[in-house]
Amino acid sequence: MMESGVPLCNTCGEAVGVDEKGEVFVACQECNFAICKACVEYEIKEGKKACLRCGTPFEANSMADAERNELGSRSTMAAQLNDPQDTGIHARHISSVSTLDSEYNDETGNPIWKNRVESWKDKKNKKKKAPTKAEKEAQVPPEQQMEEKQIADASEPLSTVIPIAKSKLAPYRTVIIMRLIILALFFHYRVTHPVDSAYPLWLTSIICEIWFAYSWVLDQFPKWSPVNRITHVDRLSARYEKEGEPSELAAVDFFVSTVDPMKEPPLITANTVLSILAVDYPVDKVSCYLSDDGAAMLSFESLVETADFARKWVPFCKKYSIEPRAPEFYFSQKIDYLKDKIQPSFVKERRAMKRDYEEFKVRVNALVAKAQKAPEEGWSMQDGTPWPGNNSRDHPGMIQVFLGSSGAHDIEGNELPRLVYVSREKRPGFQHHKKAGAENALVRVSAILTNAPYILNLDCDHYVNYSNAVREAMCFLMDPQVGRNLCYVQFPQRFDGIDRSDRYANRNTVFFDVNMKGLDGIQGPVYVGTGCVFNRQALYGYGPPSMPNLPKPSSSCSWCGCCSCCCPSKKPTKDLSEVYRDSKREDLNAAIFNLGEIDNYDEHERSMLISQMSFEKTFGLSTVFIESTLLANGGVPESAHPSMLIKEAIHVISCGYEEKTAWGKEIGWIYGSVTEDILTGFKMHCRGWRSVYCMPLRPAFKGSAPINLSDRLHQVLRWALGSVEIFLSRHCPLWYGFGGGRLKWLQRLAYINTIVYPFTSLPLVAYCTIPAICLLTGKFIIPTLSNLASVLFLGLFLSIIVTSVLELRWSGVSIEDWWRNEQFWVIGGVSAHLFAVFQGFLKMLAGLDTNFTVTTKAADDAEFGELYMIKWTTLLIPPTTLLIVNMVGVVAGFSDALNKGYEAWGPLFGKVFFAFWVILHLYPFLKGLMGRQNRTPTIVVLWSVLLASVFSLVWVKIDPFVSKSDADLSQSCSSIDC
């Protein structure tokens, strides 16, 4: 991609050339995006006067050059189009630049570029002739008009960015700045006015408030530039699905992971698989891989039943455009299913399909009942041979292909998407890395069998709720301008089965509708573990094609021992040509280079560039897999014999395959944390990739959330523990990834926020305890307020309220969802986050892995019964303690005020206000603890009585009702001999 040190244009492939001073032409001084003069002039003429990558406006000299050369450039482009033999370098090198369009290029160049120039010619010709609209319609036949319209649509962008209206965003930013100023004045007052009578309480409160302000900055500023996006699925079809021609849409491999069928019901997993097989996408482009990490025969047998039922379900969904295409959730909808269904046979077929599904459920539930008690000799398959996975910790790898081009067809004789069962090998003494290891095994298996260029991963309880979800993602990934630098497209998580009030903020609406929109305006949303479509090349550790590779330092980083992404090199900065030459010499162990360049070399140069040994150090000992990594557009390698594919796939999921490779370090899902999703997305963004947040009107995917209190707290505990592990690892965003400068600063703040938020639990617990201590001791953390101090406190509270209101205004989140989020922030902070911090440090310092057990008490309620299910766990102790302490403090404070008289009521107001703030935020916890109809567990009653007794004894010892002077007088009187 470089000739004589001059980079090639990322749009057309021609050398960018030099400017009037003889220097390399640079259109954008902000990001140095390589684009030639001709392309810049064309973009300016089309009205696009900003950089394609960063959006920075082009310089004035480029604009002037475009105006001066307008006529000459038109004639030159027209001549190139009319003479295919003289199209020049502009057309011949396109295939070496665009990896997305390389399959569709011919000797005349990129068809998209050609269509753009032709549409420009048509516009100019129409302007010269200037006919009226009626005359044009009379001159051009209707068929030709439709064809021209289709060509014009095919050249238009597949997605559109819709910035938030300035009328909503400008006040929001203004209030943020004002709140920062008020915070500075507030802390100046607090620090310069200590409370000598309660100095320890005052100092503790100051430290807590400073941390809260720091956390607010980390959370707020990544939301500085939120955006919305809309997709154009019709344009995607016009471009890649032309009538009478094979579909040119990219293939997609779906990953579904499950571990324990007793905790993850097979019926729910079956619904997820069925919704994938019935997705609205070409069947030859869809493959579904189910990872059974528990090697359970129940999962295998239920998948056999699912594959058989799919032969009826898939054609029914596509015939009548069913939504959603998970049968359990489709048949449970409380809607008029006859609406918009005009086929008279629909009612009859729907009833038959529902009857078939009920029979399918009976068969699956029978398998579950059978699996409740395993035989002593272990499970056996139908032919009598023992099930290989009887020992879930010691078994060989297993792969079974159920459906696909060579498998069973549906009842109408049509082909079905491929369905593959995968259970990787497990042996004692090997580290298997849980879900991250299972996902990496699926990456390798899918590369051997189908090798789709894009991967969509789902949890086993997240089904496809919108059949066009994959097309929505392709509107970004297959867009020649947008998709080149995209590592993934993230969809929001939506949930079923949650009560209307969402007591424990299971929907996470504030995060998915506020924070993620803000990140989309920077470098892209974080990866949240499910509902995400990946670019396979990004998972392989490659950098984005349009960015130059970083030179590898002479030695590994002294801090992390990693690649140059972590720490900057001490050598002086090199120009692009030097970076390019050094990147060619670097060891492929890091595997960060542009695969699109390989085709430009002959066989001898290619053999020198791609060392087999280097690839084996990076990807492992599989020649078929290594060859598949070179196919940027996917597809099975031609050298791979079909009869050897399954054997090779078994080889790549062996437990020792990843040893001494880059898997889990630089490639695939990254190891080192239970929240591998955040770590994986973080590494991609550090390499310069960006991501996109896609929010279609109909939720793309839906899942089930843990709706009872204990399960929700344990879910939050796992997330927080993963964040602490990342904080204590070499991948901590506080110090990782500074060398390349590819991670934007606001994006870094967002990632820092994702790993330090559990530590907020320490000041939060202290701050929630202070009101009770103040009420019990009669002291306060704030001195007598002056007029200035009152204005500062009032301004701070108003700025907090106004910021929240304006945030809700541009995001569309309801105030109820925002309030639930605030309440559970306190509940989770004083329980799960607190335990995660201590567990993380124990694991790092002492190697202890602490587990908090959960015991279940069944609920009798039918609807939302699980919401009122009581599961006692250690996580419930800190919030219970805070509730009791603050309630006791409020009672003691009112008693003290009644005893002292009118002058005590003024100071009491501030203390009681903070105590009620704590109780109000913990109210959902208290309600969940009591259950329905006040059925409180005995353990909670005993714990409450114990705490009340302890504080009663402390209360008697303090004895605040007797002043010091009265106590001295009583002692002196007792010594008088009456």
For the domain that residue 55 is a member of, what is the CATH number?
A: 3.30.40.10
Question: How many whole angstroms separate alpha carbon 300 and alpha carbon 254?
Answer: 18
Identify whether residues 684 and 806 lie together within a single domain: no
Identify whether residues 300 and 356 lie together within a single domain: yes
Ligand-binding annotation for 257, yes or no, is yes
- Furthest CA-CA distance within the chain: 127
Q: How many helices (H) and strands (E) does the chain have?
A: 36, 17
Q: Is residue 151 part of a domain?
A: no
Identify whether residues 219 and 238 lie together within a single domain: no
Residue 668 is part of a domain; what is its CATH number? 3.90.550.10
Question: How many whole angstroms separate alpha carbon 250 and alpha carbon 742?
Answer: 28
Q: How far apart are the first and last CA of the chain?
A: 108
pLDDT tens profile 664-723 = 888 899 998 888 889 999 999 998 899 999 999 999 999 888 777 888 888 889 899 989
* Placement of tokens 């993963």 in the chain: 722
pLDDT tens profile 422-457 = 999 988 888 888 889 999 999 999 999 988 999 999
Residue 240, SS3?
Answer: helix
Mean pLDDT value of segment 901-909: 69
Hey, what long-range contacts does 44-47 have (CB within 8 A, 24 or more apart)? 45/70, 45/73, 45/120, 46/116, 46/120
Question: How many whole angstroms separate alpha carbon 611 and alpha carbon 388?
Answer: 38
Mean pLDDT value of segment 315-334: 89
Provide the strand spans (E) within 120-274: 159-163, 227-231, 252-258
Q: Is residue 356 part of a domain?
A: yes
Q: Is residue 963 part of a domain?
A: no
Identify whether residues 337 and 446 lie together within a single domain: yes
How long a stretch of residues is the chain?
Answer: 978
Question: How many whole angstroms separate alpha carbon 42 and alpha carbon 435?
Answer: 48
Instruction: Taking each helix axis as running N to C, give the angle between helix 905-921 and helix 815-829, from 0 to 180 degrees, rounded to the nearest 10.
Output: 90
Identify whether residues 251 and 299 lie together within a single domain: yes
Identify whether residues 330 and 353 lie together within a single domain: yes
Ligand-binding annotation for 264, yes or no, is yes
Residue 534 structural domain: 234-544+663-707
Amino acid making up residue 503: R
Q: Is residue 418 part of a domain?
A: yes
Whole-model pTM?
A: 0.74
Question: How many whole angstroms separate alpha carbon 475 and alpha carbon 110?
Answer: 19
Identify whether residues 409 and 532 lie together within a single domain: yes
Which of 60-64, 280-284, 787-791, 850-854 has the largest mean confidence?
A: 280-284
* Placement of tokens 């969402």 in the chain: 502
Q: Is residue 70 part of a domain?
A: no
Question: How many whole angstroms separate alpha carbon 833 and alpha carbon 304?
Answer: 41
Question: How many whole angstroms separate alpha carbon 665 and alpha carbon 437?
Answer: 11
Identify whether residues 196 and 277 lie together within a single domain: no
Q: Is the pLDDT reported for residue 12 higher than 80?
A: no
Ligand-binding annotation for 570, yes or no, is no
> Domains in the chain: how many in total?
3
Q: Pick the residue with more confidence: 481 or 975?
A: 481
Mean pLDDT value of segment 935-946: 58
User: pLDDT band at 27, cuts 50/70/90?
Assistant: confident
Average model confidence (pLDDT) across the chain? 76
Percent of the chain as helix, strand, coil, to the nearest 5: 55, 10, 40
Q: Pick the residue with more confidence: 802 or 599?
A: 802
Q: Is residue 798 part of a domain?
A: yes
Identify whether residues 799 and 919 lie together within a single domain: yes
Identify whether residues 426 and 524 lie together within a single domain: yes
Ligand-binding annotation for 312, yes or no, is no
Closest Cα to residue 493, out of 471, 473, 508? Answer: 508
Cis amide bond preceding 396, omega within 30? no
Q: Is the pLDDT reported for residue 458 higher than 90?
A: yes
Q: Pick the residue with more confidence: 229 or 852?
A: 229
Could you tell me the sign of the dihedral formed by the alpha carbons of 565, 571, 577, 581, in that order?
negative
Identify whether residues 401 and 503 lie together within a single domain: yes
Ligand-binding annotation for 263, yes or no, is yes
Q: Is the pLDDT reported for residue 2 higher than 60?
A: no
Q: Pick the residue with more confidence: 80 or 44?
A: 44
pLDDT tens profile 787-844 = 788 888 888 889 989 998 998 888 888 898 899 889 889 999 999 899 989 888 888 7
Q: Is residue 612 part of a domain?
A: no
Q: Is residue 319 part of a domain?
A: yes
Q: Which two tokens stand for residue 53?
A: 């990558």
The DSSP code for 101 is: S
User: pLDDT band at 127, cuts 50/70/90?
Assistant: very low
Could you tell me the sign of the dihedral formed by the alpha carbons of 907, 910, 913, 915, in that order?
negative
Identify whether residues 287 and 382 lie together within a single domain: yes
Q: Which residues are catalytic?
A: 293, 677
pLDDT tens profile 735-777 = 887 766 788 889 999 999 999 999 999 999 999 988 888 888 8
